[in-house]
Structure 1
Amino acid sequence: MAIHQRNDWYDLTRATNWTPSYVTEDELFPDEMSGSMGIPMESWEVYDEPYKTTFPEYVKVQREKDAGAYSVKAALERAKIIEKSDPGWVTILKQHYGAIALGEYAAVTGEARMSRFSKAPGNRNMAMFGMLDETRHGQIQLYFPHEYCKTDRQFDWAWKAYHQNDWASIAAKHFFDDIITGRDAISVAIMLTFGFETGFTNMQFLGLAADAADAGDYTFANLISSIQTDESRHAQQGGPALEILIANGKKEEAQLKVDMAVWRAWRLFAILTGPALDYYTPLEHRGHSFKEFMHEWIVGQFERSLIDLGLDKPWYWDTFMEELDSTHHGYHLGVWYWRPTIWWNPAAGVTPQERDWLEEKYPGWNARWGQCWDVITENLIADKEELTLPETLPLVCNMNQLPICGIPGEEHWDMKVYTVEKDGRLFHFSNEVDQWVFEQDPQRYEQHMSIVDRFLNGDVEPMNLQGALEYMGMEGVAELGRDAHDYAWIEKVKDNMKKAS
């Protein structure tokens, strides 16, 4: 039997729109689930996905990817990569698995919403494959760290993180609930696949795979590469949706969704990827700084994507560019100081050599962040570790759920909290952009309680750090975060002081 070329039949077979006979179109695709904004069905039929695949092709390729990833894992199981790697790299693995693995399962919900409620048949077709992608990503990123749990309890947070009230878990869940589980189909296409995946994670996974290879962790490098090739395909769902919105007079609405998603993604990206690149990665493996990575891989390509679609850069773009110099440094300092409250072991990353590198990449770093680390270093040298540990919780932003940070230094101190009062309750924000996101739809966010709100509300008992740790799900000393190198970097500081004297 002759086999027709895919191009001869693909468009016909995925054009699955029909005229319903026993329900109305609005009942079949309610706007609160479809997000079609009143655009008629025929306008959505021009949706043209750039990546086209069929089920037989998909299964064949995915089978090969899985075979490759699991085979590499099996072949390298005796390499003892966890035992032999720098603790900073192991920290990146723990942080990644806890923050991402179950987030992939949340993405299944978003893909399912598009596959059922999007009026664009091409979107529905792609989303079906996206559901399979995200299911695979969740499963494989739970399976790979599972073997490490027997020797390191922190790896159990790959599964545990999203089932706990740890402040970092709350921040991740708040973000993913906002752009995935609580949005209509077209909003998911724009905010998840365009704003987050195209804008951030697709490029990050490329860089992460390269860093893993440089660190000698070929198992993780192969895993992330396998996932990234899926992401590069289903991340393309947002672009065609945006084109249809703009062509039908909905540019303002499209721009709003992009602006909100990009800012929210940036804040989470800053606390996860920023410290990983500039502090956790061993100095000899740092090919570029976080700021350089953002400019080369994220900023440039995202600007081009916006221009190609006919959208504008977000109104806060200048603020975003300024934050590339500072935000992740504040987050890193805060995460390290509040290390008992997280499931990974943050590397300080401030040996004399590392500080020289930070000063080179971020001129003025020593005058700003360095002076804070000077105090920490002095206390550790004096065997006063207790002075480097928290006694209570920091002020948290009611939008991004992360600590509110400023830039230290006599010439740079700019600490400011943006506050809004609504129905007798005060909401605190990191800056005017987080406040702006909140004010676009206050009813969506105002009932949520940050970790500090819960503390002050009496949900945490006893009302001290130990009570907070128990509330966050930290079970025993083995799960509490600590300095990744057990303060070995202090010896390098002492050696440098001896040389200087």
Structure 2
Amino acid sequence: MPKLDRSAYYDLTRDMNWKLRYVSEEEAFPEEQSKSYGVPAEAWWEWDEPYKVTYREYVYNQSDKDASTYSVKSAIARSKLFDQVDPGWKSAITAHYGAIAYGEYLASIAEARMARFGRAASWRNMATFGTLDETRHGQLQLYFPYGLLRKHPQFDWGHKAFHTNEWGAIAARSLFDDMFTANDAVGTAIQLTFTFETGFTNLQFLGMAADAMHVGDVEFGSLISSIQTDESRHAQQGEPTLRILLSQGKKEEAQRLIDVMFWRSWKLFALLTGFSMDYYTPLEHRSMSFKEFMEEWIIKQFIDQFRDFGLEKPWYWDIFLDELNWLHHADHLGVWFWRHTVWWNPDAGVSPEEREWLEAKYPGWNDNFGRYWDVITENIRQGRIEKTLPQTLPMVCNMCHIPVCTPSEPKQRHIAPYVSEYNGRRYQFCSEPCKWVFEINPERYAGHLNIVDRFLAGHIQPPTVEGAYAYMGLTPDVWGEDAENYAWAFKKAEGGKATAV
């Protein structure tokens, strides 16, 4: 076998489907785990992955990538390169490690479910590699922040975040449990590999790797590049799964799977990637705005895929396009204001030059968001830091678990939270699509408690903002502070340059 070309044996060894006689199909592939949607077993055997790899090739490639990535880390650890990286960028990767590292291990559960309950042998073969991928990604993204612990204790949250009740961790767990650990094989293929990975994270990792190199963070750039090459392979499981569903007349089911997870993914993506690109990345290294990135890479790709597969754009597409103009700006303002509730140091990113860039990329930014930053800036200049910190908790969505925010302009926007009643309880949502996701499957989501639910239920003691910090596992040595120690507030524009007051 080692002497044969792959083409001589690949199809035979990876596509060993057979009719079961020792047990029934229902026993081998229970519906709650595999979710066939009524598609006959033989129809699934047409599953064919576009990215083909043998175990021999896989091990060789992965070993080579690990050797390269860990070598870069070892070399950088002996230098002072990380110390010279912009504070905002350090905040971006600190947020990334906490939100993503442990989630990679959870994704290995999703891949393992497809490796066992996928209805085609070729699919199970591909998912086995995906399981190994996600385990490797988790190991890498826990080891790298561990090596930075001597720089700041916040990097411990690469491992710690998902074990706490911090509000962002609650939101991430809710999304990842829905997509990874509590999903069936078909739902995982469509929602994780097609919608989330192909549509969002794969392209994001490409951009982050390039940005890291521009900023000078060679270590993180090497890490993300190594992960992205795996993502581009195992993310291909969604397309053949989707094709089989559509060929069997299951367009409505496929459309709903995509629509639900596109919206859920967007809410977290806007929160983390939005402010990383538009506020935390140094101005001189911003190749495009978050909105431009979404339009050029994410939206274009999804529109092309919807057309190619004969699918429709999600019914809420206009709502999504509207949020693209303001949601991550509102999220960023809230995260900076409630900075003690996160494990990284939010970079305000609103120096005079940065505000000029934001206004150019998002016309009307100064009128909608700059006026709030004007008040914050004045309070900082007058030494009234306490006025830039919250005295209470915000209203939080019962679906995405992210604080509710809606700009007051234009007037036709729906300002009040969306409300739904279920089993005698009132649920409040940030948007109509979040309400829709909840209402099509309320039993799946009704038991989830966001951070405000827990506060009102008496889980947080004492029932104060300080008590909430403690409940979330945040202490003064790790909770967020302004990344630049408010230096941006003491700059003014003179002759096109930002100078200290």
TM-score with structure 2 length normalisation? 0.97
Query: Pairwise mapping of residues 253-264 of structure 1 onto structure 2 (< 5 A)?
Result: 253-264=253-264
In 1: Cα distance, 2:300 partner to 2:498 partner:
45
Between 294-303 and 56-65, the greater mean CA deviation after superposition: 294-303
Deviation of 1:498 (Å): 11
Matching residue of 1:453:
453
In 2: Cα distance, 1:189 partner to 1:117 partner:
11
Matching residue of 2:158:
158
Deviation of 1:499 (Å): 9.1
* Unaligned ranges ≥5, structure 1: none
In 2: Cα distance, 1:307 partner to 1:236 partner:
18
Deviations 1:173-198 (A, max 9, x none): 00000011111001000000011000
Deviations 1:426-461 (A, max 9, x none): 111111100001111000000111110000000000
Deviation of 1:78 (Å): 2.4
In 2: Cα distance, 1:420 partner to 1:369 partner:
30
Q: Cα distance 1:94–1:112, how it changes in 2: closer, same or farther (>3 A)?
A: same
Deviations 1:66-117 (A, max 9, x none): 0110111112222323321110010011011001000000000000000001
Deviation of 1:23 (Å): 1.3
1:226 is the counterpart of 2:220: no
Structure 2 residue matching 1:176: 3-state secondary structure = helix
Query: Pairwise mapping of residues 11-410 of structure 1 onto structure 2 (< 5 A)?
Result: 11-408=11-408
1:483 is the counterpart of 2:482: yes
Matching residue of 2:421:
421
Deviations 1:37-72 (A, max 9, x none): 121111000001000111010000000100110111
Contact 2:213 2:221 in 1 (8 A): yes
Q: Which amino acid in the other structure matches residue 316 of structure 1?
A: Y
Structure 2 residue matching 1:478: 3-state secondary structure = coil
Contact 1:97 1:142 in 2 (8 A): yes
Q: Which amino acid in the other structure matches residue 362 of structure 1?
A: Y
Contact 1:343 1:480 in 2 (8 A): yes
Contact 1:416 1:431 in 2 (8 A): no
In 1: Cα distance, 2:2 partner to 2:205 partner:
41
In 2: Cα distance, 1:289 partner to 1:2 partner:
49
In 2: Cα distance, 1:392 partner to 1:248 partner:
52
Structure 1 residue matching 2:101: 3-state secondary structure = helix
Deviation of 1:340 (Å): 0.2
Deviation of 1:309 (Å): 2.0
Q: Cα distance 1:498–1:307, how it changes in 2: closer, same or farther (>3 A)?
A: closer
Q: Which amino acid in the other structure matches residue 198 of structure 2?
A: T
Q: Which amino acid in the other structure matches residue 85 of structure 2?
A: S
Matching residue of 2:7:
7
Q: Which amino acid in the other structure matches residue 231 of structure 2?
A: E
- CA RMSD, 1 decimal: 1.8
* Unaligned ranges ≥5, structure 2: none
Deviation of 1:413 (Å): 7.1
Deviation of 1:16 (Å): 2.5
Identity, % of aligned positions: 55
Contact 1:407 1:414 in 2 (8 A): no
Q: How many residues get paired? A: 500
Contact 2:341 2:479 in 1 (8 A): yes
Q: Cα distance 1:498–1:486, how it changes in 2: closer, same or farther (>3 A)?
A: closer
Q: Which amino acid in the other structure matches residue 447 of structure 1?
A: G
Deviation of 1:407 (Å): 1.1
Contact 2:33 2:113 in 1 (8 A): yes
Structure 1 residue matching 2:349: 3-state secondary structure = coil
